Amino acid sequence: MALAGSLFPLICFFFYGLLAARIEIVRPSLSMIMSVQRRRWVENAVHRDTPVDAILSGNLMSSVSFFASTTVLLILAMFAVFGQLDAVLTAVTVIQPDQAISRGDIERHLVIVLVLFVLAFLSFTLSLRQFNHFCIMLGAADHSERSDPVEIRVITALNTLGARNFNQGIRAYYFAISMVVWFISPLAAIVATIVISASILYREFFSSARNLVAGLKTEPSK
């Protein structure tokens, strides 16, 4: 049970994307709908010469940078926990007196948590790089001539890729909650993972925010 409780959140983290892709075939997700808005942003941005787009891009990059920096601190904290395994084992034994949790179980679980945070860090740094490329491409666009549809599509794709990887990193944080619940009970970690997965799916496909954005009647920029 201890091993299942450790691996289940990580497995769900990997398979969430596959499940979401299947659902998107019949019902667009919030991320998919926002991709249309990202294209509208780029189409409008190449026709104006104001600082508003630079401000918006900077806000995006600062958010990603914050999470990337925070994840580094969490990774370092995880290494510090490895030096206090005896104290952690004592605490878990008190919390779970009926479970035969060994030192090896805790070491394995901490390694899995570390893997999850490393994946989150890689997602955030990749997102930051893609948003950086987006800013360069948006700044390089010629505002004096008619916009190139191919260039707009590429700039939009960079923005969408950056957002997708940022969401991947945020999703790792959600599933990390289940990893923490494991210290209370492996079974509770499995239950928490199911609840968190359902919550993320609801926010992507059935939330009020998704329905509001989906109800917008947008017209292509001229």
Q: Tell me, what DSSP letter sits at residue 222?
A: -
Rounded Cα distance between 205 and 27, Å, is 7
Task: Pull the structure tokens for residue 83.
Answer: 């030096």
* pLDDT tops 70 at residue 188: yes
Decide: 135 and 59 in contact? Cβ < 8 Å: no
| pLDDT per residue as tens digits for the range 114-150 | 999 999 999 999 999 999 999 998 888 876 667 778 8
* pLDDT tops 60 at residue 38: yes
Residue 2: name the closest of 86, 89, 63 by CA.
89
| Average pLDDT of every residue of the chain | 89
Task: Pull the structure tokens for residue 18.
Answer: 């596959």
Rounded Cα distance between 9 and 98, Å, is 22
Q: Tell me, what DSSP letter sits at residue 141?
A: S
Burial of 42 (0-12, 13-18, 19+ CB in 10 A): buried
For residue 10, give the amino acid letter.
Answer: L
Decide: 154 and 137 in contact? Cβ < 8 Å: yes
Determine the average pLDDT of the residues in 24-36: 90
Task: Pull the structure tokens for residue 148.
Answer: 């190139």
The predicted pLDDT at position 126 comes to 96
Task: Pull the structure tokens for residue 207.
Answer: 């939330």
The predicted pLDDT at position 166 comes to 95
The predicted pLDDT at position 95 comes to 86
pLDDT category at 220 given cuts 50, 70, 90 is very low
Q: Answer with the residue of higher pLDDT: 111 or 97.
A: 111
pLDDT category at 154 given cuts 50, 70, 90 is very high
The predicted pLDDT at position 219 comes to 53
For 97, phi then psi, to 5°, come to -65, -25
Which of 63-72, 75-84, 142-151, 184-193 is the least confident region?
Answer: 142-151
Cα–Cα distances in Å, from 84 out to 5, 12, 88, 115? 21, 28, 6, 19
pLDDT category at 194 given cuts 50, 70, 90 is very high
Q: Helix, strand or coil for residue 20?
A: helix
* pLDDT tops 90 at residue 47: no
The predicted pLDDT at position 222 comes to 45
Residue 156: name the closest of 45, 35, 56 by CA.
35
For residue 30, give the amino acid letter.
Answer: L
The predicted pLDDT at position 4 comes to 86
Determine the average pLDDT of the residues in 54-77: 92
